[in-house]
Structure 1
Amino acid sequence: MRLLVTALAPSHLLCMVPLAWAARAAGHEVLVAGRAEVARAAVEAGLPAAEITELSVAPPTAGPALTVPALPRMAEMLAGEQLRGFAGQRWTSGGHPWQVRVARVIDGYITLAQRWRAEVILCDPIEFAGLVTGGLLGIPVVVQRWGGPDSMSAEAITRARGILAELSAGLGLVGELPAPAATLDPCPPSLRSDTTTPVQSMRFVPYNGSQSVPGWAHTRSSRRRICVTFGLFGSQAAMTGADFVAGGNLPQLLDAITEALRPWSEHDVVMTAPAQVHDMLSAVPPWVRLVDRVPLDAVLAQSDLVVHHGGTGTAMTACARGVPQLLLPPEHPALLDCARGLARQGAGRILEGEARTNPQALRDEARRLLGEPAHRDRARELAEEIAAQPTPAELVSVLAGFADPAGSRNGASGPGSTSHRIRVASPVATSKS
């Protein structure tokens, strides 16, 4: 099998890496395709990668303007002012962000899939270029969800069929964008929000990037460990100065959390933040272990509590390690969805709005999570449920079952321009773990 893996962002790729590793270990050919930062993340993970650059082109504008309503779950979670930023706008034909994004990269994806002779595409739920490529070339597309209690990716794919219909037709796709051949879901069944889409369960295997593990990270002592992290999402937003709807304002949050955790100053408090943010923080007390990057899986394996933004990767790594969670999501639909789902299931507690920077509110919730056994017990139950799901290695045969042994689906005569510049990178040798 020749497996082409597509992801919109590095954080979306991380949860797909274990399945890509498993496919390679089973003797299959694997290639990750995406923008430059996705390709770099793949190479760091030891996977071959193809960088797909964006063309400065616009999609067709022949059809009527389109008013896009909110996705149902998104409408539930967002206030009126924020909702207007996601829906209710009248987009000129070809001007919707999904249309623009796919139009700029689709030539590169089609060309790569044809030249590399891809047989199966493993797709991030919102990297719609993978779905369009599969539909145009007749290549089966398997969607892998991010792993958390996600109810919006299924809605997004349904909506994409309408929004991308004009663009797909202009590229030569007959009929609407086809549904995925299968959907893999690493979220444990009891935690899933979407119970209507047929899915294949898969074990969530934590992968948080290629990093060395410091000695203190995997050492367990009599002291409790509290980990504070805002993941790739919050860290990158903080470095670029984005507002907190996009994950920013990290220094204010970290200062409030530091004050809240003073009662646990004799314990092991690990706080991760980009080096660029360290100077923005108030005086960091000596009892806080402030680090730039850390192998999250190793740290959480020895932790009693994690404080974070509701990102799926962080949330599911904590679930896999049986760690209760204090969730502080910004007003971003995917993060709210994940955080509220975990809180509903008793694996953590959630603070929203101004309460996220209230030291007393933070301290009260941390005390409940550390002192009451119910959340810890539920977190351990989720860890056991995750461990009982089929491993990525067991699901490689599911992917291979979709491959076309004759290799006839994606011949060089298929649709799509070959003018897009593609740069392929090989994995580099690394001693990091």
Structure 2
Amino acid sequence: MLKNLQARKYFYIIFPLFIGSIMAYLDRVNVAFAALTMNKDMGFSAEQFGMGAGILFFGYMLFGVPGALIAERKSPRVWLAIILVVWGAVLAFMAFMQNAMQFYILRFLLGACEASFFPVVYAIIMPRWFNTKERPAAMSLFLSSMLLSGVIGAPLAGWLLDVSVLGLKGWQSLFLLEAFPAIALGIGYLYCLPDWPKDANWLSPEEKQLLTTEYEQEITAKNAVRKFTVWESCKDKKVLKLCGIFFLWMTGFWGFNFWMPTVLKSVSGWSNSQMGWLIAIPMTIAFIGFILWGMSSSKSGEKRWHMALPLFMGAIAMAAGPFVTDPWFSLALVTVSALGLYIGLGVWWSYPTTFLSGSAAAAATSLINSIGCTSGWAGPYFTGYIKDMTGSFQGAYIGMAVSIAIAGLFLLTLDNGLVTVSTEKRYNAMSDAKKA
């Protein structure tokens, strides 16, 4: 059994959430690989595919805040179990859709089910187990799952598109086979994911007291500055600024993720299977960068430049990408774009909980995620629309690069999200707990 408290928190809390994040990301973006054959089979235009890919985020916008509030007031463990089981069922139905309208409806429902998963983790679970200084590293480790899902999912998706399973077409097999792990994980959460440190049988009484004390100290420190109600948090100027920044960031992020395989294939002429394996290269590099970047932020306490600098780098690479004709140079730009768009996200999601807590944090984080993720419709749809209008991805990619760069500039106007619970307090709490 692991003896180190931090390692045990990573194993018992981060690891099951990490797997859930992989499921969420795979189930959200597998449509990008399905599109390589699905669009032709279903007769979808680029605009129709962009609409279906992005409409998922309207489900996010409508159901993120209510879901997170239910989880905060009841049980995050039970709520996550429910939504995982339901979204797995929705994904299975996608294997048997017949037309564009069914595609739109099922993608919307998938978004509604997934809407509160990440806000529940960011705003409810993480603060209960990791103090403010620890969260950038913990959040980055958790969110590096998105990159690992690309490393795993890209080769798997590329292979499935060329294989018929049980008489189904490749894209149908892709949806169906990825539904069952989500359902199984949801059931598993009921038995392995505690709601509070006091519920964890792998913690000693002293450790339970330590984590509880840290959490209470952080709440007290935040409330001493300002105690937010749910409504106050959702209309706070800083929260609204974060909503706008995340919208600009995600416009480029989702446009890149949903269209990158198509753009790279048009430049390279690589097969579906080759595409799957080669895209794993930038995802692996970004995966390593994600973890190291979060550790750097936790060690230094700096947040603004850890969020903004990668976006400036990604914007330059995205703007150049569609103008490159050499496939290997194009893959190199994809790698730089992935680094820029991904590695600051762990630091980003540690930021709202530096000044918000409880129901206010759950509501505001869900609002930021929901409004920001509407760009998950805007980015893919805008890219598909410009491609249909001009016959090229160049204009769309320049537009997304500008959006990302503006997000980086606004990030520099934020305060630095200084740590509210010091390391000294942490050790004092441990000492007090031992004396008790």
TM-score (norm 1): 0.29
Determine which structure has the larger helix proportion and give its number.
Answer: 2
Determine which structure has the larger strand proportion and give its number.
Answer: 1
